[in-house]
Structure 1
Amino acid sequence: MTATGPTSREQQAATDSNLVDMNWDPITRIVGSLGIYTKIDFKQKQVAECWSTSSIFRGYSIFMQGKDPRDAHFITSRICGICGDNHAACSVYAQNMAYGVKTPPLGEWIMNLGESAEFMFDHNIYQENLVGVDYCEKMVRETNPEVLELAERTEAPGAAEHGYRTIADIMRALNPLEGEFYREALQQSRLTREMFCLMEGRHVHPSTLYPGGVGTYPTVQLFTDYLTRLMRYVEFMKRVVPLHDDLFDFFYEALPGYEEVGRRRILLGCWGSMNDPDHCDYRYENMSEWGRRMFVTPGIIVDGELVTNDLVDINLGIRILLGSSYYEDWEQREKFVTHDPLGNPVDRRHPWNQHTIPKPQKRDFEDKYSWVMSPRWFDGQDHLALDTGGGPIARLWSTALSGLVDIGGYVRATGSSVKINLPKTATMGERNFEWRIPRYSNALERNRARTYFQAYAAASALHFVDKALAELHAGRTKTWEPFDVPDNAIGVGFHEAVRGVLSHHMVIRDGKIANYHPYPPTPWNASVRDSYGTPGPYEDAVQNTPIFEENSPDDFKGIDIMRAVRSFDPCLPCGVHMYLGNGQTRQVMHTPTAFGGS
């Protein structure tokens, strides 16, 4: 008899027997109901499979229909309690296009100052007080005690800048609630939130943003109050950048192979941010040009190469696929937009033509398992599962490769890097930093980019203050332009939410909203296996991630998996909302008030 080896089915069964199901639902230290379901091969010390899921439904695209389009930014701001202002700004951009109105320069500089403050605020509190806990002394002690021992013996190269002698000292400073740097970062978050409120009135749902401009009253005192806080933040960043460089570089050295944690193919998307009023008129016909003049350059990066930085190309390539999400297809439904204002055909799966038809059902990882759809970008051949890398890595990568940005001597893109100049502050001299395009899109580089983009936002804001004061001193104090709402129109707003790409697509018919679809970064990052079987970015980044944690399976924390997921800065309210299934209804008893309302 001839001996035969095991069949493929037997080999698969043997492999499956080595896999352990481990789930984290919900993921902590983020906003929203994100669940990560995995199969881990502890023998090979590797994640074998991953599913990203969310069990609550989002309905904004449904109840926006029939609303007055002028209310869109106030309503969509409530999509999220974290980045609501980004939604409001993006909605204003979409409305400006639909109404044919251009914001006066001073109004645009005020919006840019508000959005810059939001980048500084949100990245700071997330990096230091939420994701930073993954790298603090207490966490490393619980998951990699040998790494902590090495950190105690490792001098921090940037100690003279940030003040911490060893890497372990940095880790201790990041310990939640008691760590010195942890507490200092909380104080900076207060400053940056105040900066935001000076420009946009209220955090996080702005009260002074409108189509056509802003309602903020501009004075020298207003911009001075902003600037005094900004300079304190600038001084803080001079310590933060070298601190994080030391920390993340140490992990590469302490754990050879750690570059594979959270690593995926380089497929990055950035829609650009902060418009230049000298070029932006919000006309779709001119969008290619004014999009390239943004202070963060839009772009799609595939395998490290810039595919396009043209917002018209980016817009036309967006596709919304379903696959493993709980919705019915809209193939036979009405197509709202057949061609864009330039005459280009618009696909049925484009957001202008999307219909949201929920179909609740039992979760099945072999079929449907999440309320998050699968946005993709079609390059003419493939539907690419772009990610934002948490926002900053895509923004910096796109801006660097395009080489178009030169912000008043504060920020300059070189084609391979972004140079950031922070001027002299109260106790520290000028500092120059350079973010260089990395080899990988992985957990550590996503986190590193977040630190550098904080410095980028601060440096950009210095320029915006200069420009706003110049307008004021020249007597050009107009911040808002009147407009009329057309009976029929389309609009699109492109912006960057803190954690990545943000677009709002709107269709107006008979003066009312006929179709409206906001697409923030989380649906892109948390998307599920699409109709072609392509996993979403969270799933892709976690699958094949190696396990470096020293704990046994019985005491496994999953720290490497958590670092991979949290490096994307998940924020699920922007992807999902609420569903009460099995025919249940939610009943709320209203008591009349003294004013006769409820």
Structure 2
Amino acid sequence: MATFPDTIPELDIKKRNLVEMNWDPITRIVGSLGIFTKIDFANKTVAECHSTSSIFRGYSIFMKGKDPRDAHFITSRICGICGDNHATCACYAQNMAFGIRPPALAEWIINLGEAAEYMFDHNIFQDNLVGVDFCEQMVKETNPNVWEKAQHTPAPNADKHGYRMISDIMTALNPFTGTFYRETLAMSRMTREMFCLMEGRHVHPSTLYPGGVGTVATIQLFTDYLVRLMKYVEFMKKVVPLHDDLFDFFYDALPGYEEVGRRRVLLACWGSYNDPDSCDYQYKNMAEWGRKMFVTPGVVVDGKLVTNSLVDINLNIRILLGSSYYDDWQGSETFVPRDPLGNPVDKRHPWNQTTIPRPQKRDFKGNYTWVMSPRWLDQRTGDHLALDTGGGPIARLWSTALSGLVDIGYVKATGHSVKINLPKTAMLPETEFEWHIPKWSNTLERDRARTYFQAYAAATALYFVEKALAELNAGRTSTWTEFKVPEEAIGCGFHEAVRGVLSHHVVIREGKIANYHPYPPTPWNANPRDMYGTPGPYEDAVQNTPLFEENGPDKFKGIDIMRTVRSFDPCLPCGVHMYLGDGKILETRHSPMFGVAGHE
């Protein structure tokens, strides 16, 4: 399709050959994620990217009419990896709607369960899935010159993790044969056991309910958890310096690699770990008890904290249709015209959303995915921001660092960093790590933050064990509060799933669920171009990213693209099937006067 007038001189036009390369699926559990690109091999860059999801599940539809007490059991099945995060967030929303406050001991048990989940999931994803992208086998195939340099580069922290050269770290990450790869697998089993001690079953908790937990709290229970936790703490003293060495090496070996997966700093964190001394689940107090969370909620724009109020965060969520397979609901019922504080609630807020699916053929010039486009309205500018979670940890640490509110001994937010103190263990001395706010929100820094947040989760768990034992020793052993389901109510829960922001919004009428919308991190990260043409975070991070892979089109693996997508932790990518579109070459015409013209 020609879009330039015929009178433009041919000398002013530069031709670019673009090759369609598509990876579909790239995901595990929450639907099939496809990344469709057009690559400019001459300039070694991604010219265009679309993120698609080909599966529709419809939880917001079949939750209607259900007993509100079942919400957490049902929504935990949204995901086979982070189901407990959904169950926890649903319980938070139920607690608000039912007007109840769980006993403190129950909250510490829930926090311990979620800490174990962070440790488990980040551990297995970082080192058994993301790590493969940096292992010897992969680097040899995609960047043999980098492998050659790795063989001659000493690891600065070899005395802490035991691998003398950077190449030794890469070899240790080889799947199934690498020593570090196997060590992390064993550790993931231990962390899963820790979760089961607190909530009975992983990944769909059997002892988690609105009002608290059914877990029988004993000194033995917390001791069994603590024994495993201390082994993980010792492991972290090795893992953090190992990953620092690996990621720093890539910056050094490939100058310019900071641009891979880089996008504007637009980060979202909804907060995690409620403090039972402050959290009463009343909406009117939500901003206050939200700031008491042990991971501070916040919206970070261009590196600056815009807000850490959960009320502000809640009211400014907008669900835009964009390029998704749904009809608009503007003519549908408004369930919640105002929040409990009297603030108006937008029609595009999850409380007022009505899901109207409209299956259709994928069209990259129109609609091409089942994912809607969550946005956050920046009241300062009127912009609908395509916030991302950065895979979870980078947003959590960035928001917590800037707020400077967390200080519990084991972890401390300084305003510009987060300090993590790990006590003496069987073989290693007391160790302090400090995560500093990075220069960029890019592929390597998303991955680096995931490592530091593993240590953060372990450190907070130490604190939670102490608090739980204090409750037990004081004789405050209750773990559940009775309640009655109201005839009419609304509720919202805010939490951090492993890979980022998670909210559940519920409306109850006549004692049944009238409207229910869960928004996990996948819609925030994997969404398509919205109604304003703004690309989603995956699309934005991949589009225009430079490519450092040494292979040409015939053997291209797209390793820089894969590292970028996986840095967001897209619900654990297990199988990547590559489709080259039969090597179809497109021609893009570029004029110095008008920019990119289109494809022919």
Structure 1 residue 192, shift from structure 2 partner: 0.2
Q: Which 4+ runs in 1 deviate beyond 3 A?
A: 4-15, 28-32
Structure 2 partner of 1:462 = 462
The Cα shift of 1:521 comes to 0.3
- 1:138 and 2:137 aligned: yes
Match runs of 1:121-270 below 5 Å: 121-270=120-269
The answer to whether the aligner puts 1:397 opposite 2:406 as a matched pair is no
Quote the Cα distance in structure 1 between the aligned partners of 2:435 and 2:7.
50
Q: Which residue of 2 aligns with 1:551?
A: 551
Aligned to 1:449: 449
Matches of 2:392 and 2:331, distance apart in 1? 35
Q: Tell me, yes or no, if structure 1 residue 386 matches structure 2 residue 377.
A: no
| Aligned partner of residue 337 in structure 1, secondary structure | coil
| Counterpart for residue 439 of structure 1 | 439
Give the Å deviation of 1:8: 6.8
Residue of structure 1 equivalent to 2:72: 73
Is the CA contact 2:411–2:418 (under 8 Å) kept in the aligned structure 1? yes
Query: Is 1:353 aligned with 2:352?
Result: yes
- 1:590 corresponds to: none
Q: What residue is the counterpart of 1:566 in the other structure?
A: 566
Gaps of 5+ in 1: 574-598
Q: Please tell me the root mean square deviation across aligned C-alpha atoms, in Å.
A: 1.6
Q: Distance in 1 between matches of 2:336 and 2:96?
A: 15
* Deviation of the 1:360 alpha carbon: 0.5
| Change beyond 3 A, Cα 1:482–1:557 | same
Letter of the structure 2 residue corresponding to residue 279 of structure 1 = S
Q: Distance in 2 between matches of 1:323 and 1:126?
A: 30
Q: For residue 392 of structure 2, what is the amino acid of its counterpart?
A: G
Partner of 1:581: none
CA gap of 1:151–1:73, structure 2 versus 1, over 3 A, is: same
Letter in 2 for 1:566: R
User: Does the CA-based 8 Å contact 1:31-1:572 persist in structure 2?
Assistant: no
| Partner in structure 1 of residue 587 of structure 2 | none
Q: Classify the secondary structure of the residue corresponding to 2:549.
A: coil
Counterpart contact for 2:389–2:500, Cα < 8 Å: yes
Name the aligned partner's letter for residue 486 of structure 1.
Answer: P
Task: Give the secondary-structure state (helix, strand or coil) at the position aligned to 1:130.
Answer: helix
Name the CA distance, whole Å, in 2 between partners of 1:30 and 1:133: 19
Matched, 1:316 2:327: no
Q: Partners in 2 of 1:433 and 1:100 — Cα distance?
A: 40
Q: TM-score, normalised by structure 2?
A: 0.93
- In the other structure, the counterpart of 1:477 is 477
Q: Alpha-carbon deviation of 1:9?
A: 11
The answer as to whether partners of 1:32 and 1:572 remain within 8 angstroms in 2 is no
CA change 1:28–1:376 in 2 (3 A) is closer
Is residue 424 of structure 1 aligned with residue 412 of structure 2?
no
Aligned to 1:492: 492
Instruction: Return closer, same or farther for 1:480/1:292 CA change in 2, 3 Å cut-off.
Output: same
Distance 1:7 1:311, change over 3 A: farther
Q: Does 1:59 align with 2:61?
A: no
Contact (CA 8 Å) 1:133, 1:176: kept in 2 or not?
yes
Contact 1:522 1:572 in 2 (8 A): no
* Structure 2 equivalent of residue 579 of structure 1: none
Q: How has the CA–CA distance of structure 1 residues 106 and 9 changed in structure 2, closer, same or farther, with 3 Å as cutoff? A: farther
Report the Cα distance in structure 2 between the residues aligned to 1:362 and 1:572, rounded to whole angstroms.
Answer: 27
Q: What pairs with 1:298-337 in structure 2 (closer than 5 Å)?
A: 298-337=297-336
CA change 1:61–1:572 in 2 (3 A) is farther
In structure 1, C-alpha distance between the alignment counterparts of 2:193 and 2:253, rounded to whole Å: 39
1:477 partner amino acid: T
Relative to 1, partners in 2 of residues 1:378 and 1:399: Cα closer, same or farther, differing over 3 Å? same
Specify the SS of the correspondent of 1:406. coil
CA distance in 1: counterparts of 2:480 and 2:7, whole angstroms: 72
Report which stretch shifted further, 30-39 or 524-533.
30-39
Is residue 2:538 matched to residue 1:533?
no
> Does the CA contact (< 8 Å) of 2:29 and 2:81 recur in 1?
no
The answer to whether the 8 Å contact 1:33/1:572 transfers is no
Answer whether contact 2:31 2:55 (CA < 8 A) is retained: no
CA positional deviation for 1:298:
0.1
CA distance in 2, matches of 1:5, 1:227: 71
Distance of aligned partners of 1:31 and 1:188 in 2 relative to their CA distance in 1, 3 Å threshold? farther
1:30, 1:569 within 8 Å by CA — same for their partners in 2?
Answer: no
Higher strand proportion:
2
Amino acid at match of 2:512: K
- SS of equivalent to 2:264: coil
Number of aligned residue pairs: 568
Change beyond 3 A, Cα 1:183–1:159 = same
SS of 1:153's equivalent in the other structure is: coil
Partner Cα distance (2:506, 2:122) in 1: 29
- Residue by residue over 1:195-254, the C-alpha shift from the partner in whole angstroms, topping out at 9 and shown as x without a partner, is 000001000000001001000000000000000000000000000000000000000000
Q: Is the 8 A contact 1:29 1:130 kept in 2?
A: no
The one-letter amino acid of 1:478's match is S
- Once residues 382 and 9 of structure 1 are traced to their aligned partners in structure 2, the CA distance between those partners, rounded to angstroms, is 39
- Among all aligned residue pairs of Structure 1 and Structure 2, give the percentage whose two residues are the same amino acid: 78
Q: CA deviation at 1:447?
A: 0.2
Structure 2 SS opposite 1:338: coil
Structure 2 CA distance for aligned equivalents of residues 327 and 524 of structure 1: 17
> What residue ranges of structure 2 are gaps of 5+ in the alignment?
574-600
Return the offset for 1:31.
5.9
- Contact 1:259–1:442 (8 Å) recurs in 2: yes
Please say if residues 61 and 515 of structure 1, whose CA atoms lie closer than 8 Å, have aligned partners that are also in contact.
yes
Shift of 1:58: 2.2
1:494 aligned counterpart, secondary structure? strand
- How far is 1:14 from its partner? 5.1
Q: Deviations over 1:288-331 (max 9, x none)?
A: 00000000000000000000000000000000000100000001
Say yes or no: does 1:24 pair with 2:27: no
Residue identity opposite 1:548 in structure 2: F
Separation (CA, whole Å) in 2 of partners of 1:296 and 1:340: 25
CA distance in 2, matches of 1:552, 1:78: 42
Q: Classify 1:534/1:449 alpha carbon distance in 2 versus 1 (closer, same or farther; 3 Å).
A: same
The answer to whether the Cα contact below 8 Å between 1:34 and 1:572 also exists between their aligned partners in 2 is no
SS at match of 1:26: strand
2:217 counterpart letter in structure 1: P
The within-5 A match list for 1:2-21 is 15=15, 17-21=16-20
| Aligned partner of residue 160 in structure 1, secondary structure | helix
Q: Which amino acid aligns with 2:397?
A: L
Paired AA for residue 410 in structure 1 = Y
What CA deviation, in whole Å up to 9, does each residue of 1:241-296 have, x standing for no partner? 00000000000000000000000000000000000000000000000000000000
Q: For the Cα contact (< 8 Å) 2:30–2:78, is it kept in 1?
A: no
Superposition deviation, residue 32 in structure 1: 3.6
Q: Distance in 1 between matches of 2:505 and 2:8?
A: 48
Write the distance in 2 (CA, Å) between the matches of 1:30 and 1:352.
26
Q: Check 1:325–1:176 CA distance in 2 against 1; reply closer, same or farther (3 A cut).
A: same
Deviations 1:531-566 (A, max 9, x none): 111000000000010010000111100000000100
| 3-state SS of paired residue (2:569) | coil
Counterpart residue type for residue 558 of structure 1: G
Q: Distance in 2 between matches of 1:180 and 1:240?
A: 13
Measured in 2, the distance between the counterparts of 1:141 and 1:12 equals 41
Q: Secondary structure at the match of 1:18?
A: strand
Three-state SS of the structure 2 residue aligned to 1:246 is: helix
Higher RCO (Cα < 8 Å, 6 or more apart): 2
> How big is the shift at 1:404?
0.1
